[in-house]
Chain A
Amino acid sequence: MIKSAALNLLLVGLVLLPPVSLSFAGKGDSPGMVAARARMVASLERTLAEGYGIRDEAVLRAMNRVPRHLFVPAQQQRRAYENIPLPIGFGQTISQPFVVAYMTHIVGIDESSRVLEIGSGSGYQAAVLAEITDEVYTIEIVPQLAQWAEDRLTFAGYVKVKTKQADGYHGWMDKAPFDAIVVTAASPHIPPPLIGQLKDGGRMIIPVGSAYLTQQLVLVEKHGDDIRTRNLLPVRFVPFTRASEP
């Protein structure tokens, strides 16, 4: 039987929030920000352990290292370490820290994993992944956001993360196969090209369902031709926007 807490609704993409302009956040990682981040991570640790029985030191360490305030627009910085999604413009959001931690844990990566992220958004999820592994590839369809994510990742020191502005539906064929794929935008179906680009034994986590309705976070596991899924949580992400050509 499922744990009751596992069905708690996660407001991943709270699209009611107003759009914001993309101006650079302030430099540096002040003691105040460090302390706020530590409090956020402590809170996440409790939530993951008590609600989901998850204890993942690597993920928590990564969350504690990434300066989330550098990945949000300047006017959102004071709320950067609250466990909520924040608007980053173009109808997109930076995911709730809990969801970032949960998804990073579920795909089960280590320092040797090659990871593809679909939907760079702010670049925050890619940064967290990059704290665990050096091979992180991230795709963003909205050109302005792709540029923003690249700039933020570079600014925050995650220079090894490879970014691309393209339609994530088609994945990143040149760099395939991947040990893990993290999709951070809702899709009405699981894109076949992404399954094709998973390595044998690879895992993909993807929110699926109708745009703007509740979606399910689904884990896809590939073992040769055997593809299995596991429905994890009800969530609500912003829609998966796709371009017409790869």
Chain B
Amino acid sequence: MTLSSSKYFSEAGTDIALFLLSAVLIASQVVLMQALARSQGYHFAYIVISLALIGFGCSGTVITLGKRWMSRHAGDLLPGFMFMAGLCCLFAFPAALSMVAKSDSNFLFLDWRGWIPLLVGAFFAFLPFFFGALVIGLVFVRDSDLIGRRYGANLLGSASGGGLGILLLFRLPPENIFPLFSCLIAVAVLCIAISVKSTRGSLKFCLCSSILAVLGFGAALITPESAISSYKGISHALLLPEVRITNDEPHPMGRVQIVESPALRYGPGLSLHFRGELPAPPHLYVNGDAYGVMLSPTNEISALLEHSLQNLPLVLANPQRALVINAGAGSFVSHLLSRGIPFVEVIEPHPAVALIVEKFYGSFLQGTILLTHARDGRSFIKASPCRYDLIMLPVQGTFGGGLGVQSLRENYLLTEEAFQAIWNALEAEGFLSVSVYNDQPPRQTLKILSLLVSAMKKQGIEDPSGHIAALRSWEMLTMVASPSPMVDSDRERLAVFAETLGFDRTWIPGKGPALNDSYHVMEDDRLNDGFIAIIGGRDEEFIESYPFMIDVPTDDRPFFHQFLRLNRLPETMKLTGGSALVLMETGSFIVVITVLLLAAVTFFLILAPLLYVEGAAGGKRAPFFVFLYFSSLGLGFMFLEIMWIQRLTLFWGHTLYSAAGVISALLCGMGIGSIAAPRISPSKASLSSILIILLCVVAASHLLLPPLFQASLGLPGYLKWLLGFCVIAVPAFIMGMPFPLALRRVAESHSSLAPWAWGINGFFSVLAPPLAVLAAINCGFAAVGWLALAAYGVALASATSLHVRRAGV
């Protein structure tokens, strides 16, 4: 179809509108993830993606069912839907966050009322996606003769959305971004007004645009700070007397706030023999969660730190060159500076925090060289040729154990591969130090030990007993390990330090636990048993028989804080009394509940209306192979998307970057694939061929990506972005073809089946993200990749039977 010049430009208005709207819808997902991370402590990426898909799927159902009527009234409906989409960006997202903040994820399984605000919040978050998708769908239906360019505008906008979201988060907090989205939609409405021929129609759009723009700008000026869960660390800190926020800056990796109060004291790992005054240093929060304290390395602080369990590596060693990985606000840095270590290198993945650390501690330097790197610890170790006398890891876990919903978060610093890389960066006489909060029953403590022992064995240390020392206070356990065996003088220093400050020797190098030490009695004796078994060479047997999952996390399954063994559930329920278990393992339970809730919601919003209306109209229901094909495509696609998001989290350094980048790369590649699809005949042979190519490409990428990413981890950031984008976009190009091709094939034989194909695909696409997370937690991301391949395999097998015979033909 050719267009005259004037027609081309008038149609360009609608294209720009689609571009903007699509960009806003994808950027909203990214911003919403960050807002949820601040409000509840976890990004809930998989739920946000599912919510957006429900919005899209539901709008598809509505359009399918009311296609004729909506086509006739598109002139009235379009401005209305756009207005609603803009309005929802303005009000529904903040309302959703406000509702979500009312709930405490730790209590969800103990008090059912906690689910109400969460579900209401999910409904609010669904609305902007629903109305936005209605607009896009309606434009597609109205302009079916221009579908190619409309689709292109939609995909280009979607692909840009991820970057837009990230860019905005660099400058503004989420609550200020939502009104901007409303303004962007106002611009989109104005662009559509250009293409409307009638003055009356054009006026409607202009009126909607003006109202949205005024509301958007107004809201941007007066937007109150978005609600944050009262159960977050900063909420508590802000209740303290004379409290003040001395620094506050937005960032895609989490909003950074520094809080000071004379009552906000600090003394972790502290001996009970310490009788001095606890300092009240500035506390740093990222997304409202405690991220560490900024300790001035003064004499008073030095005395405090010498009473701390974390002083153990400095009791045993006199390092000349120290590395602090994931330094947080730098309390360890203060420790090292106060001891006059000549060379200290600091790695902090959050760029804004790294800058703060550099400035703050830089002012206390007296003969120490301090290098600060705003970089992920894993990529730094990979790229750095240096060796260190001391490497300090951040304190892990929480006191008592159980990170709640945050246990779903991947931790690529606590994996087998990470520990091996860190071990390789140690000098022969160097020390690795890691502290972990005590928990009951012991889980995080034993898992760290498993990691350490595994790394040592991989490096050829067959008997790690003499290479490890561990001390325990009432609060935490500190382990140090060295490539060289420790000697008598080390054992003596350990004994003096422990006895003077009242710490229990959980492991004396070369000897084992000091069973007579009983300063801090735990109501559980499995910690010592675990140390003896894991260090003593019975690690596999012990880990296998342990009621909790304490085997070594890997990059493929980087969920350090997941301890639940589904096959030992009755035993662990009995052991923990049940109610405590759900608090310890909230993450796993939430994913399971999410799958069930999403299944119910998606069924009622997408499949049930189709069932009812098509049934009432005597329409044909989807045959088995149509169901199989489109459900497999939905599952396969989303499994891959979630797997790639997780794989790129390590490569790109943060889940939010990964989610934005993967969504953009996928949509870009798929968009081009979908545009290419109409040039291909929807025959059985071509459909099968494309699926075979897809299977090969996905299998190849599945097998090659992990080593490729591992090898390229040390590359500069921009190269990693480029590489990651390309390796996702290429398979995505082919992934964009099977759906439209099969849809055409099905529609050719029986057009009433097309809505079913859409609905079935949507239903399984919504369910796939939490299913993928569940599979990854229990079997690893490689398993998710194989599941995706299996799903595409099923699609291939069912593709040959997609042609539905017409009745009587």
Whether B272 lies near A220 (C-beta < 8 A) is yes
Whether B438 lies near A227 (C-beta < 8 A) is no
Whether B525 lies near A1 (C-beta < 8 A) is yes
| A169 located at the interface, meaning its Cβ lies under 8 Å from any Cβ of chain B in the complex | yes
Kindly identify which residue among B236, B240, B523 contacts A6, using a CB–CB cutoff of 8 Å. Answer: B523
CB distance from B606 to the nearest CB of A (A): 33
Whether A9 lies near B519 (C-beta < 8 A) is no
Q: Enumerate chain B residues within 8 angstroms of A234, measured Cβ to Cβ.
A: 400, 440, 580, 583
Q: Enumerate chain A residues within 8 angstroms of B707, measured Cβ to Cβ.
A: none
Q: Enumerate chain B residues within 8 angstroms of A228, measured Cβ to Cβ.
A: 502, 518-521
Tell me, in angstroms, the Cα distance from A15 to B239 when the chains sit together.
Answer: 15
Tell me, in angstroms, the Cα distance from A215 to B106 when the chains sit together.
Answer: 13
Given contacts A211-B236, A220-B272, contact A231 B438 (CB under 8 A): yes
Tell me, in angstroms, the Cα distance from A244 to B518 when the chains sit together.
Answer: 35
Tell me, in angstroms, the Cα distance from A79 to B274 when the chains sit together.
Answer: 43
Given contacts A8-B579, A234-B400, contact A189 B502 (CB under 8 A): no
Q: Enumerate chain A residues within 8 angstroms of B111, measured Cβ to Cβ.
A: 14, 16
| B689 located at the interface, meaning its Cβ lies under 8 Å from any Cβ of chain A in the complex | no
Whether A208 lies near B278 (C-beta < 8 A) is no
Listed residue (A91, A213, A232, A241) with the most chain B CB atoms within 10 angstroms of its CB: A213
Whether A241 lies near B231 (C-beta < 8 A) is no
| B225 located at the interface, meaning its Cβ lies under 8 Å from any Cβ of chain A in the complex | no
Whether A214 lies near B241 (C-beta < 8 A) is no
Tell me, in angstroms, the Cα distance from A211 to B385 when the chains sit together.
Answer: 41
Tell me, in angstroms, the Cα distance from A154 to B515 when the chains sit together.
Answer: 50
Q: Enumerate chain A residues within 8 angstroms of B524, measured Cβ to Cβ.
A: 1-2
Interface bits A1-44 vs B (CB < 8 Å: 1, else 0): 11011111101001110000000000000000000000000000
Task: Look across to chain A and name the residue whose beta carbon is closest to the beta carbon of B267.
Answer: A189
Whether B231 lies near A15 (C-beta < 8 A) is yes
| A132 located at the interface, meaning its Cβ lies under 8 Å from any Cβ of chain B in the complex | no
Q: Enumerate chain A residues within 8 angstroms of B521, measured Cβ to Cβ.
A: 228-231
Tell me, in angstroms, the Cα distance from A1 to B528 when the chains sit together.
Answer: 12
| B80 located at the interface, meaning its Cβ lies under 8 Å from any Cβ of chain A in the complex | no
**Contact stretch, chosen from A69-77, A174-182, A190-198:** A190-198
Kindly identify which residue among A91, A192, A196, A241 contacts B278, using a CB–CB cutoff of 8 Å. Answer: A192
Tell me, in angstroms, the Cα distance from A38 to B294 when the chains sit together.
Answer: 52
| A105 located at the interface, meaning its Cβ lies under 8 Å from any Cβ of chain B in the complex | no
User: How many residues of A are in contact with the other chain, CB < 8 A?
Assistant: 48
Task: Look across to chain B and name the residue whose beta carbon is closest to the beta carbon of A90.
Answer: B239
| A239 located at the interface, meaning its Cβ lies under 8 Å from any Cβ of chain B in the complex | yes
Given contacts A5-B577, A195-B272, contact A232 B241 (CB under 8 A): no
**Contact stretch, chosen from B258-266, B456-464, B533-541, B763-771:** B258-266
Whether B400 lies near A216 (C-beta < 8 A) is yes
CB distance from B241 to the nearest CB of A (A): 5
CB distance from B427 to the nearest CB of A (A): 34
Interface bits B282-307 vs A (CB < 8 Å: 1, else 0): 00000000100000000000000000
Task: Look across to chain A and name the residue whose beta carbon is closest to the beta carbon of B403.
Answer: A213
Whether B519 lies near A211 (C-beta < 8 A) is no
Interface size class of B (residues with CB under 8 A): 35 or more
Given contacts A2-B524, A15-B230, A216-B440, contact A7 B576 (CB under 8 A): yes
| A133 located at the interface, meaning its Cβ lies under 8 Å from any Cβ of chain B in the complex | no
Q: Enumerate chain A residues within 8 angstroms of B270, measured Cβ to Cβ.
A: 189
Whether B236 lies near A230 (C-beta < 8 A) is no
| B653 located at the interface, meaning its Cβ lies under 8 Å from any Cβ of chain A in the complex | no
Task: Look across to chain A and name the residue whose beta carbon is closest to the beta carbon of B573.
Answer: A4
Q: Enumerate chain A residues within 8 angstroms of B278, measured Cβ to Cβ.
A: 189, 191-192
Tell me, in angstroms, the Cα distance from A16 to B272 when the chains sit together.
Answer: 33
Whether B263 lies near A244 (C-beta < 8 A) is yes
Task: Look across to chain A and name the residue whose beta carbon is closest to the beta carbon of B276.
Answer: A192
Tell me, in angstroms, the Cα distance from A208 to B240 when the chains sit together.
Answer: 18
Q: Enumerate chain B residues within 8 angstroms of A226, measured Cβ to Cβ.
A: 502
Task: Look across to chain A and name the residue whose beta carbon is closest to the beta carbon of B268.
Answer: A189
CB distance from A214 to the nearest CB of B (A): 5
Q: Enumerate chain B residues within 8 angstroms of A14, measured Cβ to Cβ.
A: 107, 111
CB distance from B577 to the nearest CB of A (A): 4
Interface bits B567-606 vs A (CB < 8 Å: 1, else 0): 0000000111111100110000000000000000000000
| A67 located at the interface, meaning its Cβ lies under 8 Å from any Cβ of chain B in the complex | no
| A57 located at the interface, meaning its Cβ lies under 8 Å from any Cβ of chain B in the complex | no
Whether B579 lies near A216 (C-beta < 8 A) is no
Tell me, in angstroms, the Cα distance from A178 to B274 when the chains sit together.
Answer: 19
Listed residue (A16, A196, A220, A239) with the most chain B CB atoms within 10 angstroms of its CB: A16
Whether A7 lies near B231 (C-beta < 8 A) is no
- Closest 6 CB pairs between A and B? A244-B262, A8-B577, A242-B263, A229-B474, A212-B231, A211-B236
Listed by A's residue number, 12 A-B pairs whose Cβ atoms lie within 8 Å are: A7-B441, A9-B110, A9-B580, A167-B263, A196-B275, A210-B399, A212-B104, A212-B231, A213-B399, A218-B474, A234-B400, A242-B240
Name A residues whose Cβ lies closer than 8 Å to a Cβ of B: 1-2, 4-9, 11, 14-16, 91, 167, 169, 188-192, 195-196, 208-216, 218, 220, 225-232, 234, 239, 241-245
Q: 6 other contacts beyond A192-B276, A212-B230, A234-B440, with CB at 8 A cut-off?
A: A189-B267, A210-B399, A213-B400, A220-B272, A231-B523, A239-B239
Name B residues whose Cβ lies closer than 8 Å to a Cβ of A: 104, 106-107, 110-111, 113-114, 230-233, 235-236, 239-242, 261-263, 265, 267-268, 270, 272-276, 278, 290, 398-402, 404, 438, 440-441, 474-475, 502, 518-525, 574-580, 583-584
